[in-house]
Chains A and B, each alone.
Chain A
Amino acid sequence: MAVPKRKMSRANTRSRRAQWKTSAPVLVACNNRACRQPKLQHVACPHCGTYDGRQVVQPA
């Protein structure tokens, strides 16, 4: 089985990990006129619990 010959330096490890980035989620305003809170697309609104004009889940 292939094994590393050398210990990887901290610099190399850290430069690799420097590329791990997060991105902000894309949010849209809720379609429910009474709500209008920002929410994820194609997902039931966590504030009012509606999706496509239908009550889907109970809001927290």
Chain B
Amino acid sequence: MPKPTKGARLGGSPAHERLLLANLATSLFEHGRIQTTEAKAKRLKPLAERLITKAKRGDLHNRREVLKVIRNKDVLHKLFAEIAPLFAERDGGYTRIIKTMPRKGDNAKMAVIELVRERTVTAEAEKARGTKFAKDAEAAAEQAPAEESTTAAEAKAEESTEAAAEQAEKKDEKKDES
């Protein structure tokens, strides 16, 4: 027996439900965030995330599959060209639902559903680590010759102290000047 879809049934018929969800998904991708009822937001979330997964694959077949739901070609292009690259390093969880105060009039539970635009924690950590390592490598590369030169100068200075104290003093003065 097929497992029923989770969540509330919307509209008056399966066709009505499909159209409702398609319109909600189109609006979500067009505007980035929409306010709707909590029940509709909860039904929309899995559908929208499936569409984004298809958009991330980005080939012609998936574009046609998404076109079955998103029939507005402007929104379809935006989904594939702008929204899909946004989620390149995020594995699922592309949308966020936040409950808001109930609607005046019928006291229906309302919610805001939006695309998650923040970068993932792991992506930020990897970026931070990468820059830190790059910095360390650069610093090490800069320090290594610098240290050699200083040690050489010190060695020269020591030799000079052994030879003549006055010359060493002069060299130290030169160093300070330099």
A-side residues, CB < 8 A to B, are: 40, 42-44, 46, 51-52, 54, 56-57
Shortest A30–chain B CB gap in Å is 13
Q: How many residues of B contact A (CB 8 A)?
A: 6
Closest to A57 in B: B100
The answer on a CB contact under 8 Å between A40 and B112 is no
* A contact patch SS: loop
Contacts of B101 in A (CB 8 A): 40, 43-44, 46
How many residue pairs link A and B with beta carbons under 8 A? The number is: 21
Contacts of A51 in B (CB 8 A): 98
What does the 1/0 interface line of B85-109 toward A look like (CB < 8 Å)? 0000000000000111100000000
A56 to B100, CA, bound (A): 9
Contacts of A43 in B (CB 8 A): 99-101
A46 to B99, CA, bound (A): 11
Closest to B99 in A: A43
Contacts of B112 in A (CB 8 A): 44, 56-57
A42 to B111, CA, bound (A): 11
Shortest B78–chain A CB gap in Å is 23
Contacts of A46 in B (CB 8 A): 100-101
A-B contact pairs, 9 of them (CB 8 A): A40-B101, A42-B99, A43-B100, A44-B100, A44-B112, A46-B100, A46-B101, A56-B112, A57-B112
B residues 92-133 near A (Cβ < 8 Å) are 98-101, 112
What does the 1/0 interface line of B30-50 toward A look like (CB < 8 Å)? 000001000000000000000
Contacts of A56 in B (CB 8 A): 98, 100, 112
Among B35, B101, B112, residue most surrounded by chain A Cβ atoms (within 10 Å): B101
